[in-house]
Amino acid sequence: MNSPLLTAPGAVAPFEGSADPGVPWHFGDPFAEQRSAARSVAVFDRSHRAVLAVPGEDRLKWLHSLTSQHFEELGEDRATETLVLDVQGRVEHHAVAANTGGTVYLDTEAATAGPLLAYLTKMVFWSKVEPRDATAELAVLTVVGPEIPGLFDKLGLPLPTQLGVSALEGGGFARRMPWPGQDAVDLLIPRGALVDWWQKLTDAGARPAGSWAFEALRVESLRPRLGVDTDEKTIPHEVNWIGAAVHLNKGCYRGQETVSKVHNVGRPPRRMLLLHLDGSREVQPEAGDPVVVGERVVGRVGSVALHHELGPIALALVKRSVPVETELLVGTDDRVVQANVDPDSVPPDTPGLGREAARNLGR
């Protein structure tokens, strides 16, 4: 569905084939929008995300048995992320969850919401849960920036603690998230009130911002996106979802054997890295393009973004055997560009590399 905010002043519609159809791409200056999110506060229309609702007294125990997250430890008015894996431990679904008011709300990519709901419905059996599509009921807005406390205070809104949830007057809730950036709050508000909420937030000082800016901040935060930074072979360890969306102190869910085995006795075959792309050419690679060393394909490109400070960047799944200092070529046909790995993006479980190594060298 198309957001009514596509007709807001200054809104520019997304390009054909965008991963974010139906919401504004930007509002005239995507780099200024990013700077506002980094230095003050900006609001993003993410109403194209789907929302599923799982009410019922067995909801936490039931979701605990089906997903990678420890839902039995998820308290009231708390949030988390979760995955549904296949039997080989490969990622099928990702969702951000909030347990509030007797319901767990799962917001996810619109393209995968139907299959996720079909899977959940199939797995109900005798459990006291009633999963449903709540996309027509709730829409997602995301506020990002260090001035969120002042914005919420001005509007008289409750500001939840990190990964906490607060009810909003008139329906919906606020969910505080650790990304993108260091301070973000998702607002899941009644869909019919989307325009009113947008006006309220922008009148109070939040800068209107589009998907271009949000994606650049997400890439900078090293947060993967299902179907863009993942493929049919992706396991959680490769894309920074261990800890955030996978709880290691639980078992008895589909794919758990792979999660445990890789964590305890092995390493994933690939790792998600941040690439700095050569910006001297106007062309850039696209999601799914190869990452090449010499004649050898060593990975795949995921999200590509133009960042207000870092320039052209991308997330890519690259074979673990590729040295970090290797100069890469990314893209295909007429959009091949050079790329270098950001060493700070290397997962800390890699000996001698990454953030942990940098910290050790400074001791």
Burial category of 270 from C-beta neighbours within 10 Å (exposed 0-12, middle 13-18, buried 19 and up):
buried
One domain, residues 21 and 167: yes
One domain, residues 299 and 203: no
One domain, residues 150 and 299: no
* Token pair belonging to 22: 């139906």
Is residue 206 in some structural domain? yes
pLDDT of residue 281: 83
CATH at 309: 2.40.30.110
By the 8 A CB rule, do 25 and 15 touch? yes
Is residue 361 in some structural domain? no
One domain, residues 22 and 148: yes
Is residue 130 in some structural domain? no
One domain, residues 164 and 280: no
pLDDT of residue 349: 65
Is residue 158 in some structural domain? yes
What does pLDDT average to in each consecutive run of 10 residues of the chain (363 residues)? 96 95 98 98 98 98 98 97 98 98 98 98 97 98 98 97 97 97 95 98 98 98 98 96 94 93 89 95 93 96 97 97 94 95 84 40 32
**Total domain count for the chain?**
2
In angstroms, rounded to a whole number, what is the distance separating the alpha carbons of residues 211 and 337? 24
Model confidence over 103-118: pLDDT tens digits? 999 999 999 999 999 9
One domain, residues 142 and 40: yes
In angstroms, rounded to a whole number, what is the distance separating the alpha carbons of residues 55 and 37? 34
Closest C-alpha to 230, from 71, 85, 50: 85
| Segments forming the whole domain that contains residue 321 | 269-347
pLDDT of residue 266: 81
By the 8 A CB rule, do 126 and 83 touch? no
One domain, residues 170 and 40: yes
Q: Is the dihedral of CA 34, 38, 41, 46 positive or negative?
A: positive
pLDDT of residue 1: 81
One domain, residues 298 and 186: no
Statement: the pTM of the whole predicted model exceeds 0.75: yes
CATH at 206: 3.30.1360.120
Residue 242 is given by DSSP the state B
One domain, residues 188 and 316: no
Q: What would you report as the CA-atom Rg of the chain, rounded to the nearest whole angstrom?
A: 20
One domain, residues 217 and 273: no
